[in-house]
Structure 1
């Protein structure tokens, strides 16, 4: 109906909106520091499929792409816990040997606080864009244009700023 002011996220089905990419990210694997799976893998090496097959996972229901990745790798039988959102996962991962596939940018925030490691892995279709979406119907309204420009100024990665301004 054209009532959308803005939406921010990875919305692969959002084809009826105008959009501009804010940032590019990829999925990584979040584990607790000292997880046994990390003992024999060099710190800068991605986790191999053989290593992933030895892990038990927490899946996040609000982000279906991570479940799709686990299914594509035939690891869905390794899911031991389902969580509603990524923010529920750190306390679980930090006290168990569960792993979770999640956006690397979010995982990096947990790693900074200590007690966690995020590792790249050989995951299918693991790169994605987080975009700013809006309705084309009211895109010329000054207040809505100002809001989109502010969001881009605050959150858009420099390499995406060269794209057309919202």
Structure 2
């Protein structure tokens, strides 16, 4: 059985509304002969004459009257589906979004984001998940909706991005640590023992690369997979941690931060999402919320 031409639904809707081949043709910007051919196809598809001659005009058959009650809503729903998405009613929105980020992001920006959602869209929930790798497949598969990351050459070119804020690395030690008493020079820094944050398990980081160019090296005593663990170790020992300043500001409460003696390039934390979500009104609203909060918090 051949698939019916769904374009005929719109033609039938107009024909039944106008009750005239000529008026229906003018409304759809078709020639009368083209509309007559369309009516013939509709009669063949439905097995009913639909419109029959009565004097100088056409009258609908019982089948046509039945279809008229059903076709109108169908056509309107189809047309609505093909229109650009309108603004979402945030008060009525019921949806869960998944946001993936490194540790520190939730602690810094999560409370303000949840407070805004509660005010504007109380039916929205955020599922915060940890970012364990740079794989973009979860964004493609829609298992996550948004992600925060530093965009670089390894970032998938298909993803949409928007810069959130600039950040820089700082050194961190416990309160009362010898390095907390004033500016830290390179000799003092290298004399200490260090914590390396390595998300991928590498045994070196940006500081080690910078020191290597100077023919120097630091003594790494511990490797951890996240900023929270690095700061926990620094809080309870004499080890020195290196973390992004703004990204970890709340996590560093009670610790001493200092400028690194070797300048490292600043970084831009960006918001990433898949193109399929670009025009979704609710997703677009959430992206704007995150951007505004990160720009001001």
- TM-score of the pair, normalised by structure 1: 0.76
Aligned pair in 2 of structure 1 residues 109, 85: CA closer, same or farther (>3 Å)? same
Tell me the SS of whatever aligns to 2:162. strand
The residue that corresponds to 1:59 in the other structure is 196
Query: Do residues 149 (structure 1) and 291 (structure 2) align?
Result: no
| 1:104 alignment partner in structure 2 | 245
Distance change (3 Å), C-alpha of 1:25 and 1:92: same
Give the paired residue count.
150
What pairs up with 1:72-151 in 2 under 5 angstroms?
A: 72-74=210-212, 77-112=218-253, 114=254, 116-151=255-290
Higher helix share: 2
Q: Is the 8 A contact 1:9 1:131 kept in 2?
A: yes
SS at 2:179's partner residue?
helix
Note the C-alpha offset of 1:99.
Answer: 0.3
Contact 1:28 1:101 in 2 (8 A): yes
Inter-partner Cα distance in structure 2 for 1:129 and 1:10: 6
Structure label with greater radius of gyration: 2
Instruction: Give the aligned partner of residue 162 of structure 1.
Output: none
Q: Which residue of 2 aligns with 1:50?
A: 187
Q: Which residue of 1 aligns with 2:146?
A: 6
Correspondence for 1:32 among 154, 165, 174? 174
Deviations 1:18-42 (A, max 9, x none): 2111111100001011112334x3x
What is the CA-CA distance between 1:3 and the residue it aligns to? 4.2
Structure with the larger RCO, 1 or 2 (CA within 8 Å, 6+ apart): 1
Instruction: Give the match's secondary structure for 2:246.
Output: helix
Indicate the SS of the match to 2:285.
helix
Deviation for aligned residue 1:106: 4.1
Which whole-Å deviations, capped at 9, do the CAs of 1:85-125 have from their partners, x for residues lacking one? 1111233112211001111124432443x2x1000113343
* RMSD across aligned positions (CA): 2.6
Counterpart secondary structure, 2:250:
helix
